[in-house]
Structure 1
Amino acid sequence: MPIRWDDINPNKGARLTRPREIYAALQGRRWPRLRPEQNEVLETWYERRNESDLVLKQNTGGGKTLTGLLIAQSSLHEGVGPAVFLVPDKFLIQQVVGEANDAKIAVTTDAKDESFRSQRAILITTFHKLLNGRSVFGVRNVKKVVPLGIVVVDDAHAALSATGGLFAPKIPASCQAYGKLINLFASDLASQSPKAYADIAAGEPGAPIRVPPKAVADRAQEIMAIVRPHAADEAIDTLLYSWPFVADSLKLATITVTSSVVEIRTPCPEVDIIPAFAHAKRRVYLTATLEDEGVLVTELDANADAVRRPITPNQASDLGDRIILAPLSINPRLADTAVQQLARGFADGDRNGDGTIESVPVNVVVLVPSDYAANRWRAFADAVLHVGDMQPLIERMKKGDHIGVVVLVNKYDGVDLPGDACRLLIIDGIPTPLTPHERRASAALVGSMFFKAREVQRIEQGMGRGIRDVGDYCAVLVVNSDAALTLRDSTLRAFYSPATRAQIELSQQVSDQIQGESINVIGDLLDTFLERKPQWVTKSLEATADVTYDSAGNVTELAAGRREAFNRAVAGDPDGAVLVLRSAIDTVSEPLLKGWYLEELAAYEHLVDATAAEKTLSAARKLNSAVLKPNVPPSRKKVAGPAAQGVAAANYLASTYVDPRSMELAVGSLFDNIVWGVEEAADLAEEQFRLLGCHLGFASNRPEKEDRDGGPDNLWALSPSRFAIIELKTDVSRPSPVITKSEAEQLVHSMAWFSDHYPEAVDAVPVLVHPSAELDSQAHVPPRTRIMTKEHVQHLRRDVEAMVRELSASGSWGDSAAVASALARHQLTAEQVLARHSMEARR
């Protein structure tokens, strides 16, 4: 009879455990051998494999997924199973399954599959499938636990961006519990911000408010009684899957309220709720762009010492080729649609823009943060896709189909676009925070280096979509001013990973040679790159040849201290939590960041010493005006208008900018961030108006944010005697956005506030920034009210940018006489700016 060769196993009884040997033994694998970088990482992992937490860092396209699969397979061979491989979302499951099939590694997507339970196959599933309060792998004291041997988290940065939703229950306004919680904390919310509470009570968009920690701790039982009856409601999935993570720690919870949702979260997630994850023998995190590995400690309770020692290849040159350009940095005067037209031309094969097809058409992928941003591309795009509907078209692109210009909305990570699937990648904007807590944190930390580092991380995640192999290549354009600044500013550029930074610096050298040139010249440079001309390829290989990874993981004392403090508090030791967190905060030098985490410290202190907690909150408010108000807030100084606007503006510009192009980009960024029709962007818009006032030489502040006592969103002291009291309604998204009665009343209240606080003021002009200048029949605004519509803001942008370009060209932005002259010439003086850039309200 013939021999059944498929049944013959040369390693029977002695299963291979070293990953490279396992791979070599896989029959029918697609790739004959592992890359050198994969071998280096796998060998180091094998030596350290018994550490409970390990971070593996490889560049995008460096083969992390196969590395992770081999680690899981090795663990199974060693008897450390079952094995789970986690991806950020369902979209990526089949992508990993396909890679496993190519390597002939046994996998399944069914947690009930016997091959997984018997440790013969790796389960591929989502992060959410394991880490949720109703996990099929078991929940502490609730549901039988399925022990796991190894958990591999692929794209850890993307998975972590989802953990806020996983661990923080949200109660929508449609749920009865929402109204009961609002009533329970009504006086506490109103004491923090009368204006924001009025918005919440009216069901209108507005700033999120945190409930003071003492109120939460004192009423934990009442919170439980209100929320618990709804916690099993399958119609409220934002509560159903996450409630168990906070239910036992309500006294420690941070509760943040908006007009649409109440969010409950703890300072760090209590991942012990899921023993299968918390007690897995091995947890491996795969990441490319995780600049701050500390989030693995704070969010997932990873061992800080292990995370500080990431495993990387010896060299960081395992990266596909990219040219990374910022058209606005090359020429700030480009037409608004110049990049869109360039993208359309490259997608059609018309790279010269002359209407003829002279090149092979390519797929162009555009990443945008929102539907609002996507609207700028609709006239040029062949498809606008969201997470829920993108998979079919993405699969076609990956198979080689030419689609053209494809816009992906708010999908900056977790999508692989290898080879011809994407040859030109455009990043148009940075995602805005969506949850109430994230919005508060963003408002509190905007302008800090911590905030900027997070922005860079999101940009770099987006940049990685177009290269999936060391032999791959993709041109990258960043088209908004914020992102362009991260390429130009050396301080911000340092937040990028070493290999990406090397590519940016090479691209910057080339950009410097075409400063001020047209979009056609930028297109010619992209053509040189895409045609793989040796002038570029040679220089690119030289730029990345000797780049190495950062050898140490960035886990700050603050990150480690926050996690230890939370663990101590959960264990019933709030005194120990206070000591640990205070010591960690003492290592922080950045005022905004320190103030923000002093608020967290005060929440622990409220459990042991209310007087000390109030003192801590007072100290926090002096450093960061966005944190909670103590019972006796520190006094605020009045703003005083400049005696000479030109001198004040020149002093501000000279102290802020040393590079004229950075100044132009920063001013462009300021207006880019005044986004209309997006509720989550309202606070950022208010900050831009504050900064705009400073650039124009006015004394400018945000009374409502700083004092939260009913003041206006912005106050411009135009001169010693003239003031602009500004309310912003840029977040209005109604189909018919007339000025409502309540919106007009807010301006009335702000004027009353101003009269109380500045009784000596001679001239006060009320200003409403609103998409419409038309008043509802019931709306009554104060006398002399000026309305600044979207069109007025656009006109203001043109005038401010023209002034800045003029000062930039002459190098005179620090010359008070030149600045004063430019302000007058562009009608931006205290006497002219409102008259030119606003109008009277109309019925």
Structure 2
Amino acid sequence: MVLELSSYFDNQEKDKHDSNYYSWRNIQDHLAACNIYLSEGQIVIAPLIPPTNMLDNFNKAKQRIYLTATPGKDGVLEKAFGVENIERISLPNKGLPSIGRRFFAFPDLWYPEENSDENFFCSILKKVARGVVLVKRDQDENSVASVIKKSLPEIKIFSGKTIQDEMSAFSSSEFGIAILANRYDGVDFPNDVSHLLLVKDLPVYQNLAERFFMSRLKAAPLYDDLVKNRIMQAVGRCTRSANDSAIVVIEGRDLQRVLTVKDKLKLFPPELRAELIIGNAVGEQSKGYQSFIENSELILHPEDDDWKSIDDAIIQQRSEFQKEEQNLPEKSSNLAQIAKLEVRFQRYMWSENYEQAEGVCQAIAEKVTDNLLQGVQYYWRYIFASVQLRKYSEGSIERRKPISDLQVLRREANNLTWFQALDGVTSTSIPEADTSQDDIAIMVDNIEKYILNNFDNGVSNSKRFKKIGQQFQNLEKGIKTAKGVGFEKAVERLGKVLGFESGNPNGEGQPDAWWKLNSDSIVVTEEKVYESNEHEIPIHDVRESIAHPGWIKRFLDLPKHKINIINVFISNSSKINNAAKLEADGIYFLKRDDLVTFAVKALATMKEICISYNGEGDVKWHQSAIDKIMRSNFTPNEVKRLMTSNRLNNLKS
């Protein structure tokens, strides 16, 4: 990859040089100090922390001043600027500015259908004349502008690219919106400039590095401080002083989850936390969509008794949270100390001082003691071994020591699937019990994807729980009563819900549902529901089943090693034709009633797992799900036992 990138940029015409060209020139001689992050649509090569100490204009400055309203406590500022020590000068408490009052509205939580085409925002906009929209990307700026323009043709659109130059024109416009892409901060709309803000689909995690630590290492708490700061900056664009007020509309799954889940709400200061909880409660208690709009508009009429009741509720809730904070012991976090070491590590790696980098790396791993950051500790142990391997490549140490460290890490980190890739480096022999946990960790990753795709689409918890219950009830009904294609689809869906890769080709001569249990075993099925439970399974149905292992080998992407294909005939009948029995060798049999019993018990466990889900990056949920499945009836080994408990040719004629 390095040679290809070098060749690509070396041969690039000078007038076509882009930002990537200059970025590559800066890092090409320091790739050992960089990480490579890959996703389906993007490759990022970058150091974990910017090596600003290598820039003379920055490093040799006599004084550096950082201005921010949200400096954070977990080393966010130090890592952002690549500086080990930043002295904080804080305002005295009595000098802290007030942020005014905000009413938070979550239309997609309570009225997603009515809020299509930004109907809620447009309804409020008609009352306030000017609004502000924060979106994710430039494309989103154009699409949101198009949607709003369609509903409100007379609206004047101001672009985020030019709004700072056009602020006076926007402030005096009779009917306009400013749409800003990928901006959490930097532009303010105080006083009467705007009393309406839409924060739409802003990413909680902004780049592949953050996504990697959150989704692959399950280390969301690492970014709690950063996420809190970003959101506080975003929702405060229209409330910059004590007298400001605004309706803040929140849309987008990630934002809604952070701003409504109890554990995440604790990140925020009492005032903001109270505003979020009361705003969400008003939405839940509103008697219909129109009532929801009217309740949200009350903040525009501060003398209204109904608004005073809402404001009083916010103040009371804020006071309760303040008392809670006073009574709680101060939360200690060593993330700020770790951040200083991370900056130092980056500096040593950039200057190829691997001896010093190794020592700092080990110190970081030792300091990460929080169980919620287990993945971060594993990461730094991995980096420690990587630095040692680099020293080995230079001939200064033997290879045995880093490989041994990686083998130990591989065994300990078997709850996180990313570390399973170390098998290719270490040739680690994993005990069977640990291999089983490897399989289940993969299942939990798949279950999390299923939850995100099916249940975590921005609806309220009560609606989400109801949707989970309904979907599992329908699935259970399909397993019990469906026939033909309906039954085949139900069996396929059951496999997906339980965390297995599954499919249903549904073509002539092709198998019915198949489940890939792990890298060693695949279950492939022929499913027949006859009119009578006494119907003898005929020879032509058995012959269909015989061909299924061959189809699996031909059309599925199988591992290079030999894989066990378990061929299963599922039916409501437990009788077989004599001629068919002679050709049923090698085919297992599962009675539909036994599949129903299995599914009912498995789905009860899955319902618990899905309902307890609190969002990506939660290592507690991840480990809890692994533990529940380890004790369940649908581990890969248990499913194999179920599927191979009877042979088709053992049935009575």
Structure 2: stretches of 5+ with no match in the other structure: 150-154, 393-398, 442-446, 469-491, 503-513, 527-551, 571-602, 612-638, 640-653
Partner Cα distance (1:394, 1:756) in 2? 67
1:119-158 superposed matches below 5 A? none
Correspondence for 1:106: none
Distance 1:616 1:388, change over 3 A: farther
Correspondence for 2:579: none
Correspondence for 1:468: 240
Matched letter for residue 498 of structure 2: A
Normalized per residue, which structure has more helix? 2
Q: Does 1:396 align with 2:169?
A: yes
Distance 1:666 1:634, change over 3 A: farther
Partner Cα distance (2:18, 2:401) in 1? 39
Give the one of 249, 258, 261 matched to 1:477: 249
Q: Could you say what secondary structure the match of 1:759 adopts?
A: strand
Partner Cα distance (1:604, 1:387) in 2? 44
Q: Could you say what secondary structure the match of 2:242 adopts?
A: coil
Correspondence for 2:340: 560
Whether contact under 8 Å (1:323, 1:503) holds in the other structure is yes
Q: Does 1:698 align with 2:494?
A: no
Q: Does 1:427 align with 2:199?
A: yes
1:443-522 superposed matches below 5 A? 443-445=215-217, 448-450=220-222, 454-508=226-280, 510-511=281-282, 514-515=284-285, 517-522=287-292
Correspondence for 2:45: 264
1:677-696 superposed matches below 5 A? none
Correspondence for 2:296: 526
Partner Cα distance (1:576, 1:598) in 2? 15
Correspondence for 1:586: 366
Shift of 1:345: 1.7
Distance 1:537 1:439, change over 3 A: closer
Whether contact under 8 Å (1:252, 1:266) holds in the other structure is yes
1:572-611 superposed matches below 5 A? 572-588=352-368, 589=371, 590-609=373-392, 610-611=399-400
1:709-728 superposed matches below 5 A? 721=523
Q: Could you say what secondary structure the match of 2:247 adopts?
A: strand
Whether contact under 8 Å (2:213, 2:219) holds in the other structure is no
Correspondence for 1:378: 146
Matched letter for residue 326 of structure 1: F
Whether contact under 8 Å (2:102, 2:245) holds in the other structure is yes
Correspondence for 1:369: 136
Matched letter for residue 134 of structure 2: L
CA deviation map 1:658-685 (0-9, x unaligned)? xx9536458999xxxxxxxxxxxxxxxx
Q: Could you say what secondary structure the match of 1:607 adopts?
A: helix
Which has more radius of gyration? 2
Distance 1:346 1:298, change over 3 A: closer
Correspondence for 1:130: none
Correspondence for 1:710: none
Whether contact under 8 Å (2:338, 2:367) holds in the other structure is yes
CA deviation map 1:175-197 (0-9, x unaligned)? xxx78426xxxxxxxxxxxxxxx
Structure 1: stretches of 5+ with no match in the other structure: 1-177, 183-222, 350-360, 642-647, 670-692, 704-713, 725-745, 765-799, 809-829, 831-843
Whether contact under 8 Å (1:595, 1:623) holds in the other structure is no
1:98-497 superposed matches below 5 A? 180-181=3-4, 226=7, 229=10, 233=14, 235-239=16-20, 241-243=22-24, 245-256=26-37, 263-291=44-72, 293-304=74-85, 306-307=86-87, 309=88, 311-315=90-94, 316=96, 318-329=98-109, 331=110, 334-337=112-115, 340-349=118-127, 361-370=128-137, 371=139, 375=143, 378-381=146-149, 382=155, 387-391=160-164, 394-397=167-170, 399-431=171-203, 437=209, 440-441=212-213, 443-445=215-217, 448-450=220-222, 454-497=226-269
Partner Cα distance (1:413, 1:461) in 2? 6
Give the TM-score normalised by the residue count of structure 1.
0.46
Q: Could you say what secondary structure the match of 1:586 adopts?
A: helix
Partner Cα distance (1:723, 1:491) in 2? 43
Distance 1:259 1:552, change over 3 A: closer
Whether contact under 8 Å (2:9, 2:21) holds in the other structure is no
Partner Cα distance (2:61, 2:203) in 1? 33
1:706-785 superposed matches below 5 A? 721=523, 750-753=556-559, 757-760=563-566, 762=568
Q: Could you say what secondary structure the match of 2:414 adopts?
A: helix
Whether contact under 8 Å (2:286, 2:292) holds in the other structure is no
Give the TM-score normalised by the residue count of structure 2.
0.58
Partner Cα distance (1:437, 1:488) in 2? 25
Q: Could you say what secondary structure the match of 2:32 adopts?
A: helix
Whether contact under 8 Å (2:105, 2:296) holds in the other structure is no
Partner Cα distance (1:763, 1:445) in 2? 40
Matched letter for residue 459 of structure 1: I
Whether contact under 8 Å (2:159, 2:178) holds in the other structure is no
Matched letter for residue 135 of structure 2: V
Distance 1:326 1:302, change over 3 A: same
Matched letter for residue 297 of structure 1: E
Matched letter for residue 148 of structure 2: F
Shift of 1:540: 5.2
Partner Cα distance (1:285, 1:722) in 2? 61
Shift of 1:429: 1.4
Q: Could you say what secondary structure the match of 1:378 adopts?
A: helix
CA deviation map 1:332-356 (0-9, x unaligned)? x54252682222122223xxxxxxx
Give the one of 384, 407, 416 matched to 1:624: 416
Distance 1:451 1:234, change over 3 A: farther
Distance 1:455 1:715, change over 3 A: farther
| Aligned-residue identity in percent | 16
CA deviation map 1:607-659 (0-9, x unaligned)? 23544444454526535323583313675448589xxxxxx99xx99xx99xx
Correspondence for 1:73: none
CA deviation map 1:417-467 (0-9, x unaligned)? 223332121222132767555554454246733356554443333212212
Distance 1:749 1:387, change over 3 A: farther
Shift of 1:314: 0.6
CA deviation map 1:747-783 (0-9, x unaligned)? 987443499545225489xxxxxxxxxxxxxxxxxxx
Q: Could you say what secondary structure the match of 2:263 adopts?
A: helix
Q: Could you say what secondary structure the match of 2:192 adopts?
A: helix
Distance 1:720 1:565, change over 3 A: closer
Matched letter for residue 529 of structure 1: I
Matched letter for residue 625 of structure 1: T
Whether contact under 8 Å (1:291, 1:497) holds in the other structure is no
Shift of 1:260: 7.6
Shift of 1:526: 1.9
Matched letter for residue 557 of structure 1: Q
Matched letter for residue 274 of structure 1: L
Shift of 1:286: 2.0
Partner Cα distance (1:436, 1:521) in 2? 41
Distance 1:235 1:376, change over 3 A: closer
Whether contact under 8 Å (2:522, 2:564) holds in the other structure is no
Partner Cα distance (1:597, 1:469) in 2? 43
Whether contact under 8 Å (1:252, 1:604) holds in the other structure is no
Whether contact under 8 Å (2:348, 2:356) holds in the other structure is yes
Shift of 1:479: 2.5
Whether contact under 8 Å (2:134, 2:183) holds in the other structure is yes
Shift of 1:529: 0.8
Shift of 1:492: 0.4
Distance 1:239 1:410, change over 3 A: closer
CA deviation map 1:474-503 (0-9, x unaligned)? 111212343223233221012224542343
Partner Cα distance (2:27, 2:157) in 1? 37
Distance 1:372 1:416, change over 3 A: closer
Distance 1:291 1:717, change over 3 A: farther
Whether contact under 8 Å (2:275, 2:314) holds in the other structure is yes
